[in-house]
Amino acid sequence: MIEVDNLSGGYGASPVVKDISFTVEKGTFFGIIGPNGCGKTTLLKLLTGVLPNKNGFIYIEGRLLESYNRKELARKITLLPQQPEVSFSYTVRDVIAMGRYPYKKGLFHFFDETDEKKVREVIRQLGLEKYQDLPLPSLSGGEQQRVFLAKALVQEPSILILDEPTNHLDVSFQIELMNLIKELVNTQKVTVIAVLHDLNMASLYCDQILLMKDGRRVSINEPNQVLHSETLGEVYGTALERKEHPIVPKPLITFQPTDFGKKTKWNLQQYDERDMWVVESNIYLKTLTTEAGKGINWVKRFEFHKNFHVGLENQSSDKFMYTVRREIEHGKQNLIKVQKDNLHVLSLGTFDRENVLGFFINGYLGESEFFQIFMKIGQWLSSFSSPEENHDPVILLAATQVNSEVSIETIAVEMKEALIEIAEKKNKKEENDENLYEKG
């Protein structure tokens, strides 16, 4: 559909875009990302013929871009700029109808039934019926952007070029607009080329991404292959972190504020409060547990109830609550605590079974490291347990995420040592209880 071969161009003697090559197939959502000033908008102007190229070639459906006249090109490519002109007071319908200009011939541009049918179709497709007779300036930013998208669509282009289409829109309008554009790609096989500043929007909606820096191509591929923390950090000049989306197979990009966790020293308090043991942190801890339905959260207060209680399921998102399940409630609940250099461990259980193991870690754990530690704990517990002990305790991991100097290996060593110490304390208590029984 579009082939760009060693393209260079810009505004002066020195090109802004330098030796870029890529191909965009029909029905592809193709995103262009990169820092400010890297040449993204200049590349769009070269693709639409607004700027002449200094070197290289652009092919549109097998033909050189220069071989198209302006109206021919307008029937192939439509550009939706960053900030379309909205100072005029035409109605929404009039603005959309202007998109039919490339199909008019001669001095008198009559609006025929074909034009009318296409305008009605696009107004209905984008849900603009109730706005069609209103002046364009009376609409919100998101609604205006939908109007300009409609104006572009009545041109019936095979290629839709967008320059930061979600700029200045709130999140609901951003999602609405990007969903509309993605639907055009999927249902009508429109080819979309979009400059996007939001890396997560690019990841979630684009089939292919071109990453640019200083006018040159850094990487081009599917989002999973382009959006790597190290590459993005080098291109944008700031530390970025990649996470995986919880539902769709696309990466999400985030970052850490520079002052996070640096001003406050971690303090963990442990105390009895009526019928529960409480562990309270002065900072939020990233928490993952094997308890069903809890997932990853940021928590400051942890409540471990000593006996079964009804009605504890409605817990707040910033508080972890554990209550003994009715089917395993028997005997007195005992608490064993162990402290290491970078670790506090809490073991809650009865005489013959462990119900909860809580690990409070002064260190940083990546998401994969959380799961690695869960596996290690499972292996350690299996090696410590006798064959007849067939129950699994709830395991809680809570990490400060600020002490990155401590390695995962150091944390694992301290965890294993703590589990051995807990087992020794339990055995010692069991022996003391048996001696008391014999004396009695």
Query: For 97-114, what is each residue's pLDDT tens digit?
Result: 888 877 666 544 567 788
pLDDT at position 295: 74
pLDDT at position 37: 92
Could you tell me which residues come within 8 angstroms of residue 115 by beta carbon, excluding any fewer than 6 positions away? Answer: 97, 100, 103, 154
Is 3's pLDDT higher than 50? yes
Cβ–Cβ < 8 Å for 247, 193 = no
Of 202-211, 257-266, 291-300, 424-433, which has the strongest mean pLDDT? 202-211
pLDDT higher at 407 or 436: 407
**Both tokens of residue 261?**
């966790």
pLDDT at position 242: 92
Is 274's pLDDT higher than 50? yes
pLDDT at position 176: 87
Is 250's pLDDT higher than 70? yes
pLDDT, averaged across the chain = 84
pLDDT higher at 42 or 437: 42
For the ranges 12-26, 188-202, 374-388, the lowest mean pLDDT is seen at: 374-388
pLDDT at position 423: 84
For the ranges 76-90, 162-176, 356-370, the lowest mean pLDDT is seen at: 76-90
Helix%, strand%, coil% for the chain, nearest 5: 35, 30, 35
β-bridge partners, 337: 346
Cβ–Cβ < 8 Å for 398, 356 = no
Is 436's pLDDT higher than 50? no
DSSP character string of 215-232: TEEEEEE-HHHH--HHHH
pLDDT at position 256: 76
Cβ neighbour number for residue 163 with a 10 Å cutoff: 20
pTM over the 0.95 mark = no
Q: What is the mean predicted confidence (pLDDT) over 347-365?
A: 82
pLDDT at position 259: 65
Label residue 325 by pLDDT band (50, 70, 90): low
For the ranges 25-34, 278-287, 304-313, 410-419, the lowest mean pLDDT is seen at: 304-313
For the ranges 82-86, 123-127, 155-159, 425-429, the lowest mean pLDDT is seen at: 82-86
pLDDT at position 163: 92
pLDDT at position 354: 66
Label residue 437 by pLDDT band (50, 70, 90): very low
Label residue 308 by pLDDT band (50, 70, 90): low
Cβ neighbour number for residue 162 with a 10 Å cutoff: 26
Domains and CATH numbers, the chain: 2-231 (3.40.50.300), 268-439 (no CATH)
As a whole number of Å, the CA-based R_g of the chain is 31
pLDDT at position 434: 46
Q: What is the mean predicted confidence (pLDDT) over 402-422?
A: 89
The residue count of the chain comes to 440
pLDDT at position 85: 66
